[in-house]
Amino acid sequence: MIRSIRLGLAFCLSMASLALLPPASTSALAAEASARSMELPAPDKTGGMPLMQALAQRRSTKSGFNGAPLPAQQLSDLLWAAWGVNREDGRRTAPSAMNKQEVQVFVALDNGVWRYEPRHSLTMVLEGDWRAKLGGGSLVLLYAAPTASRWSGMHVGSIYQNVGLFCASAGLGGFVHASNSSALDGTLPLPEGWSVLIVQSVGSLKK
């Protein structure tokens, strides 16, 4: 009986202490979660350069970047063009074998490295500015896939070609390179057997 009373008092005291926690503690948790996630504007799926003109303009640009960040809408449109959902059944703007969608796209911005999510948002996976280490530009895209899969190269190539056409249409510079693909080995949260196969620098150009 006494033991039951003691347990009851301990429970009441613990609940009372929780009730006395300042509201700021909850706000801090919410702020931290918000800092690690970023909702993107809805992609603009209209307009743009005609396809044949974009193909004529598509090229690799390795210099002349001004380093300015892309506007939020342009970043949103670029990521959707790369690997966004374009059908109600969840299929993407780039093909994948048997629709396995075994690719993760990361984007290195001035404030961290973010993973692109199917719901058209970003989740921070690394803090800090890693762009120079990854090849430079307004942003750097990293394409990760299963290393041993025979389809991974095809999947990644389809995505970076989407980005190349978007850059041509939007007047942005960009180039694909493998020399920096291992720069974040061991630091990105990747599934077992996955690696970054290639990276793509994208940037606003000096006038």
Per-residue pLDDT at 35: 67
What's the confidence (pLDDT) of residue 118?
92
Residues 6+ positions from 133 with CB-CB distance below 8 Å: 180, 183
Instruction: Give buried/exposed letters for 34-60 (b at 16+ CB in 10 A, else e).
Output: eeeebebeebeeeebbeeeebeeeeee
pLDDT reported for residue 25? 52
C-alpha 160, offset from chain centre: 14
pLDDT of residue 34: 59
Which DSSP letter does residue 168 get? H
Which stretches of the chain drop beneath a pLDDT of 50?
2-3, 5, 7, 9, 11-22, 24, 29-30
* Best CA proximity match to 79, nearest among 104, 54, 50: 104
Residue 207: per-residue pLDDT? 77
pLDDT value of position 18 = 39
**What 3 state SS string does 84-118 have?**
CECCCCCCECCCCHHHCCCCEEEEEECCEEEEEEC
User: Are 163 and 169 within 8 A, CB to CB?
Assistant: no
pLDDT of residue 64: 87
Q: Characterise 50 by phi-psi region: left (phi > 0), alpha (psi -120 to 50), beta (else).
A: beta
The string of DSSP codes covering 2-71 is HHHHHHHHHHHHHHHHHHTS-HHHHHHHHHHHHHTEEEPPPP--S----HHHHHHH-----S-B--PPPP
Tokens at residue 104, please?
């993760």
Q: What is the pLDDT of residue 13?
A: 45
pLDDT tens-digit map of 126-154: 999 999 999 999 999 999 999 999 999 99
> Sheet of 194-203: strands edge to edge?
37-39, 121-127, 112-117, 104-109, 139-146, 194-203, 173-177
**What's the pLDDT score for residue 206?**
86
| pLDDT of the residue at 43 | 97
User: What confidence score (pLDDT) does residue 21 get?
Assistant: 40
